[in-house]
Amino acid sequence: MLTREQEYGANSEALAVRHLKKHGYKIIKRNYRTKMGEIDIIAKDADTIVFIEVKARKSGAYHPKAAVTKSKMRKISMAALYYLKSTRQLNVRARFDVVAIGSGENKDDNIEIVKNAFELAYR
């Protein structure tokens, strides 16, 4: 059984997937886990592999994309490099996006795809 927080996260990721698909992304993997970290969603946008972090907030205290810390960027970057190496795709275009889901009644109106949200971070 999922905790309330886990359920909120799973629902937010499902909402993000639907939104990404509406915008032409092809979902490759969800919840990709390695020893280095986890990537919420791996997708393809045209000819680019996109590593996506989903951030949702119940309150409007601050923007969800502000929750992607340097430490989180490093973990996502390392997991992304591992994915690219293990799938033999080191020469493909890749980027890091954040799907920010704000609070409010109609969540569909509060979703933002932040393309190129951060650069590869490995230090």
How far is Cα 27 from Cα 42, in angstroms, rounded to an integer?
A: 6
> What is the number of domains present in the chain?
1
The domain in which residue 9 lies consists of 4-118
The per-residue pLDDT for range 61-87, each reduced to its tens digit, is: 556 566 788 999 999 999 999 999 999
pLDDT, tens digit (0-9, with 9 covering 90-100), for 16-27: 999 999 999 999
Count CB neighbours of 118 within 10 A. Answer: 19
DSSP-derived secondary structure letter, 45: E
Does 123 fall in a domain?
A: no
pLDDT bin (cut points 50, 70, 90) of residue 54 is: very high
Tell me which residue of 109, 123, 78 sits closest to 96, measured CA to CA: 78
At residue 1, the pLDDT reads 79
Domain for residue 79, yes or no? yes
Phi and psi at 91, nearest 5°, equal -100, 15
Rounded CA separation 59/46 (Å): 34
CATH of the domain at 36: 3.40.1350.10
